[in-house]
Amino acid sequence: MEHQVKQAQSKAEILEILHQAGFNVPPLLYFSVQEWFDSQDTVLVRIKSSFGGAIGKIAVRSSCRQEDTVSCSNAGVFESILNVPVDQENAICQAVKQVIDSYGVNTAKDQVLIQQMVVGTVMSGVIMTRAADDGAPYYVLNYDDETSQTDTVTSGVGGKTVYVYRGFRNTDFDSPRLLELVYLARRLENFFHSDALDIEFCRDLAGCIYVLQVRPIAVAGKWAAEIVDQTAHGISFVEDFVERLSSPRPGLFGQRTLFGVMPDWNPAEIIGVTPRPLATSLYRHLITQRVWSLAREKMGYRSVPPEELMLILAGRPYIDVRCSFNSFLAAGILDDTAELLVNAWLDRLDKNPELHDKVEFGIVSTVYDFTFQQTIAARYPGLLSGQRFDQVSSCYQYLTRQNVSAEASSPLMVALGTLERLVMSQKSFHDSCVLGKQPYALLAWVRKLLEECRTLGTLPFSMIARHAFMAEALLRSAVDRHAMLPERLRTFRKSVKTITSVMSTDMQSVAKGGLSPGDFMSRYGHLRPGTYDILSPRYADRPEVLAGLYTSTTYCHEPFELEPAEKRNLDQLLHEAGLGHLQAEELLLYAEKAIAGREYAKFIFTRSLSDALESLAVWGDVIGLTRDDLSWLNIEDLLRVSIAPLLSMPREYFEPLIRQGKNISDAGKNLKLGYLIRSCRDVYVVPQHRSTPNWVTRRHVEGKVVRLDSTSRGDLDLNGCIVCIENADPGYDWLFTRCIAGLVTQYGGANSHMAIRCSENDIPAAIGCGQILFDKVAAAKRCELDAERQSLHPL
């Protein structure tokens, strides 16, 4: 048999050998191109006699000598025609002709493969026995178990993806079906004496798995030899880390934890899935080390131990979900009740991973909104007794009453006032006062900028962002209670004038000649697509951002006025919720100031951060470090130099640290980690990100797809295009002056910056659609985005 495998020259011959060896292969026959031309009638008789039974449908498939070779797969290059009626000679002849014509210049020895169609297909797909891009030791299962078609995965239309580490244990699987597929792959590996196989399969209603094709992975020769050992070494440390942090921890409620890239403070959206050390450490320094919990504590949430919110697994930032959920407990909730709640929240996210980027709208109720009690009872029936239920309700009700106000002395307005102190300090910063300073003074200046950014910027921003979440929850629940229609809520949102809509207006003014580019850059030049990324150029360094602007009509933010019935309804709901100190108009004023304030706060604190990055770049240039060098260093390592003098030349001191940052990043990229890690098992069996997008507007558009990143030029012609961005922040606001038709992002929540901007501009969007769908759409030439029917399809 081994000799036969080595002698096999085509897809058809390989499948015949597999059939003889006992693998499930649909009945087949094949013939050469020469046979077809010489004796077409004889071949047709063979086809009819072989497949003319009750099934009546065949697949006419390519089996060309140019495909499935060790050096080149030519996957998808040649035609295959499915569901051809076996009793229709014309249909068979036409299908065979299409297949042969697809070979181009064919040889007499090229073949055509005929197979019986598998009836009742419930699953189909492709198994790679190594990750094709880098050779990492994972089985890569890409499959469709929804359409009952056998070619959706190979044609790139749909599918789910799961990575399975080759050193898995059977207990790592939730799905027996996937385990069966991996064992099929192992049988084929043993048969072919190769771990670099590309296997096409399908499964029928009876659970029988059919092999449709096996070929070598053509790029295997390019893989690094050490990747298997590197991955094995790294995955053991990640497993140990996850296991240790998943056990109970003093001062935290919850018997375990989960790790996710989006449940809180959205690191995947803000700094990316695999950020470099400088960006990661800055995000930690400014947000996830202490600011995140301190802000919530100041607003009346429970004080939590000094735990880190963000952890780094193989170079990827993850949120410790238990820490996050503890910080959402209202102060005053009894300890035993808090334990019940956190465990219930963790269990719900475990069972509903698609909610990983919607925890405040699908898992945890963090504000006493108008459906608070109904929501708790529906999500967690029987969890809390009557007395516990009342105590939890009372604590959140008090927290909400203390925060929901737009009066001058309210927490929201105090936080907004703190920002103005930062604005005053920023006016003292000028490039000229930095460029001439000595290295020590430059680093001292960076330290000052970051400290002010943290205490006067990200801390009040964190509080204002929480107020915006509160406002959103109250307004959504008002719609749920029929106090106002969804359309009216959308109208209200569009009426809110934010700093980013002001910026769009100013861009239009530049286009019309009313504002000079210099004046525009003095206001907005600090913005960059990657807020924490020193390699991401500022607007001030990208003059093309202002080139080719469209002088379209700027959206007018018309004042929103409640209708009498809406006012009565909202006043009644506020009274029922114990928020009678507010009237309906005051609630909307609070929401307006919170939503606009969040965007303003982000705009202000990012100026200090941007100035710190530029000052750091100047310091690096003085001592001989490039921006790229700096991006591989932690901010703590850099600032330490300002208090502890170096005992060697700067380049000599930092070179090992730069190399270490690169090595950790390279090693981490070999590991395939998911968007949500629920236990150590998820380190070995890794489903890729499939998420329900957050839909914006109710519009439907079709258009050309353009994929952008932080290095994309700002003068691209995007008129009528649907733009795809992995993760987006204010640095991409120039998009809204380019008359784009729609927006698709891989990461992002319902309250993300881009969701708000799209709502303001009435641009249909799919925010946070997940890796699988995003990659398919971004790779397409055109796509259809239907926000009303909540569908997104590549065309």
| Amino acid at residue number 455 | T
- Spatial separation of the C-alpha atoms in residues 246 and 86, rounded to whole Å: 58
Contact in structure between 537 and 544 (CB atoms under 8 Å):
no
State which H helix or E strand residue 685 sits in. strand 685-687
Cα–Cα separations (whole angstroms), residue 746 to 98, 727, 762, 770? 38, 6, 20, 5
Residue 507, phi then psi, degrees to nearest 5: -65, -40
Provide the 10 A C-beta neighbour count for residue 211: 21
Provide the 10 A C-beta neighbour count for residue 230: 18
Edge-to-edge strand ranges of the sheet holding 81-85: 28-32, 111-116, 57-63, 81-85
- Spatial separation of the C-alpha atoms in residues 135 and 113, rounded to whole Å: 30
Residue 24: partners with Cβ closer than 8 Å, 6 or more residues away: 208, 209, 210, 211
Helix axes 40-51, 89-102, angle to 10 degrees: 110
| Amino acid at residue number 295 | A
Torsion of CA 182, 183, 185, 186, to 10 degrees: 120
- Spatial separation of the C-alpha atoms in residues 437 and 619, rounded to whole Å: 9
Cα–Cα separations (whole angstroms), residue 511 to 347, 501, 523? 53, 15, 16
* Encoded tokens for 312: 């780094």
* Encoded tokens for 10: 């085509």
Contact in structure between 699 and 717 (CB atoms under 8 Å):
no
Residues of the chain with pLDDT under 50: 1-3, 71, 154-157, 431-432
Nearest residue to 745 (alpha-carbon basis) of 762, 758, 736, 734: 758
Residues 671-704: b if buried by 16+ CB within 10 A, e if exposed: bbbbbbbbbbbbbbbbbbbbbbbbbbbebebebb
Contact in structure between 405 and 586 (CB atoms under 8 Å):
yes
- Spatial separation of the C-alpha atoms in residues 553 and 509, rounded to whole Å: 11
335: exposed, middle or buried (Cβ count in 10 Å: 0-12, 13-18, 19+): exposed
- pLDDT of 310-325, one tens digit each? 999 999 999 999 999 9
Length of the chain (residues): 795
- Spatial separation of the C-alpha atoms in residues 592 and 577, rounded to whole Å: 20
- DSSP string across 721-768: -EEEESS--GGGGGGGGTT-SEEEESS--TTSHHHHHHHHHT--EEES
3-state secondary structure of 300: coil
Contact in structure between 181 and 209 (CB atoms under 8 Å):
yes
The CB-side HSE value for 785 (13 A sphere, CA atoms) comes to 34
State which H helix or E strand residue 542 sits in. none
The CB-side HSE value for 487 (13 A sphere, CA atoms) comes to 2
- Spatial separation of the C-alpha atoms in residues 618 and 371, rounded to whole Å: 53
Give the distance between the most distant pair of CA atoms in the chain: 93
- Spatial separation of the C-alpha atoms in residues 347 and 13, rounded to whole Å: 50
Provide the 10 A C-beta neighbour count for residue 609: 22
- pLDDT of 460-472, one tens digit each? 999 999 999 999 9
Nearest residue to 757 (alpha-carbon basis) of 712, 789, 790, 725: 725
- Spatial separation of the C-alpha atoms in residues 355 and 645, rounded to whole Å: 48
Nearest residue to 359 (alpha-carbon basis) of 439, 264, 281, 293: 264
Structure-token match 């070494």, residue found: 233
Provide the 10 A C-beta neighbour count for residue 437: 16
Helix axes 411-426, 584-623, angle to 10 degrees: 30
- DSSP state, residue 455: I
| Amino acid at residue number 400 | T
Q: What is the pLDDT of residue 3?
A: 44
Residue 256, phi then psi, degrees to nearest 5: -155, -175
| Amino acid at residue number 750 | A
Residue 330, phi then psi, degrees to nearest 5: -70, 140
Give me Rg for the CA atoms of the chain. 30
- Spatial separation of the C-alpha atoms in residues 76 and 622, rounded to whole Å: 53
Residue 308: partners with Cβ closer than 8 Å, 6 or more residues away: 284, 288, 289, 320, 323
Contact in structure between 363 and 349 (CB atoms under 8 Å):
yes
Q: What is the pLDDT of residue 650?
A: 86
Alpha helices in 644-705 (DSSP H): 650-669, 681-684
The CB-side HSE value for 162 (13 A sphere, CA atoms) comes to 23
Residues 160-196: b if buried by 16+ CB within 10 A, e if exposed: bbbbbbbebeeebbeeebbbebbebbeebbebbebbb
301: exposed, middle or buried (Cβ count in 10 Å: 0-12, 13-18, 19+): buried
Nearest residue to 702 (alpha-carbon basis) of 776, 635, 768, 793: 793
Structure-token match 């932080």, residue found: 710
Residue 213, phi then psi, degrees to nearest 5: -170, 145
Q: What is the pLDDT of residue 516?
A: 93
Contact in structure between 734 and 714 (CB atoms under 8 Å):
yes
* Encoded tokens for 262: 């989006």
